[in-house]
Structure 1
Amino acid sequence: MISYLAHRAAQVVPKVSCSGSQANLHVHEADLPSIYEFIKAVVQRSSVPVPTLITSLVYMWRMQTRLPPGAKGLSSTPHRIFLAALILAAKNLNDDSPMNKHWARYSAVPGYEFFGFSITEVNLMERQFLHLLDWDIRIDPQDLHHQLEPLDMFGAKTNMIKHEI
């Protein structure tokens, strides 16, 4: 599941550009965990249930469909997109969701001393994500089916590769 989440988060903004003032965000390539490591750490620390993870897939897909062609981001963009989608999914589905200050703490990945998002960044990511979704956080069965079908295929493909080794 984490591998698929990482795969999808990396696809939302396909071309990641290192240009721009990444120094302003205090993120340098060497300090950046892989999207897989980041998602694994956040999921472990937050203990979110699987339905929340699946809902985050729906939100990432919706965001991807609303971005203009050729949208670019920083190297931390997949991390930000995943975290914002997960926060919205958790708040939408769970009565007792972590507060944004907790999500900021969850974003610090062990072994990456200088990586993590501040509470200000987390609040901004959440607001921007909601704006890009036009505040449409409804989930219907078709949305879930649309996200679960590729997940099943991704899992089958991953299992086939493991058995070939």
Structure 2
Amino acid sequence: MSTINTTQVKANNPEALLAFTTLTTNNLLSCALNTCNRLPPLNEFIHDFYNKKNEFPCAVKLFTLIYLLRLKSKLPDNARGGYDTPYRLFLAAVLTSSKYLSETGTGLTSVTLSYFTHHLYTPKDINRMERSFLGLIRYDLWVSANDIQSFMNSYGDLLQIDISQVNIPEQGTIARCLLPNVTTTNTANNVVSIPYPA
């Protein structure tokens, strides 16, 4: 499991992060038009979600984007979805990211996400979304320091996200080999410092 010290991941432009998340989620696959009045526009849905107290650290938002982009790369070109597929994929990516980043059991749950959606989706629905999402990305959950650096090289300037430390248990040596200018301190957690910009 990988963890990010969330105090070291900062979005300097939350509006850009929200817009990019909405665009990424909306462009995953072709979907039927939203004919359901119970769902708000996707950008409002994501905005409302990300403004729930402080439940969504920037690291969860970052990993959500990485997982959504990973999903897009694995979907066939002719993939199609229903009108609420982007909402479902977003929820599944958030839940997966939160769980992946939480080694202490403090990750989000399907019950919490159901509450955050004002019960538009039940916990059972969200559990199914998560299982489907994991199958679609083929359980490819590991996010390496190289994956984060690649994301930052592509989108860091646009999103104005700063990352100064990534904690990768038992992977410090690999991170040093993959990334130039990376140093590892000798702590129990093998903190890997990634200077930004690299």
**Same fold? TM cut 0.5:** yes
For 1:136, what is the secondary structure of its paired residue? coil
CA contact (8 A) 1:4 1:151 kept: no
CA drift of 1:151 comes to 3.2
Give the match for residue 42 of structure 1.
49
Q: Does 1:64 align with 2:88?
A: no
Provide the rounded CA distance (Å) in 2 between the counterparts of 1:148 and 1:35: 24
Give the match for residue 136 of structure 1.
140
Q: Does 1:81 align with 2:89?
A: yes
CA contact (8 A) 1:66 1:133 kept: yes
CA contact (8 A) 1:57 1:147 kept: no
Q: RMSD across aligned C-alpha pairs, in angstroms?
A: 2.0
Q: Does 1:107 align with 2:117?
A: yes
Q: 1:150 to 1:116 in 2, by over 3 A?
A: farther
Provide the rounded CA distance (Å) in 1 between the counterparts of 2:101 and 2:41: 27
CA contact (8 A) 2:99 2:107 kept: yes
Between Structure 1 and Structure 2, the one with more helix by share is 1
- Equivalenced residue count is 141
Between Structure 1 and Structure 2, the one with more strand by share is 2
Q: Kindly provide the amino acid, as one letter, of the partner of residue 106 in structure 1.
A: F
* Unaligned stretches of 5+ residues in structure 1: 19-26, 109-114, 157-165
Q: Identical aligned pairs, as a percentage? A: 22
- Write out aligned runs for 1:4-23 (5 A): 4-13=20-29, 15-18=30-33
For 2:76, what is the secondary structure of its paired residue? coil
Which one of 126, 134, 142 corresponds to residue 122 of structure 1? Answer: 126
CA drift of 1:91 comes to 0.3
Q: TM-score, normalised by structure 1?
A: 0.77
Structure 1 stretches (4+) deviating beyond 4 angstroms? none
CA contact (8 A) 2:110 2:124 kept: no
Larger radius of gyration: 2
Provide the rounded CA distance (Å) in 1 between the counterparts of 2:62 and 2:149: 10
* Unaligned stretches of 5+ residues in structure 2: 1-16, 161-198
Give the match for residue 163 of structure 1.
none
Provide the rounded CA distance (Å) in 1 between the counterparts of 2:35 and 2:83: 9
Q: TM-score, normalised by structure 2?
A: 0.65
Q: Kindly provide the amino acid, as one letter, of the partner of residue 101 in structure 1.
A: V
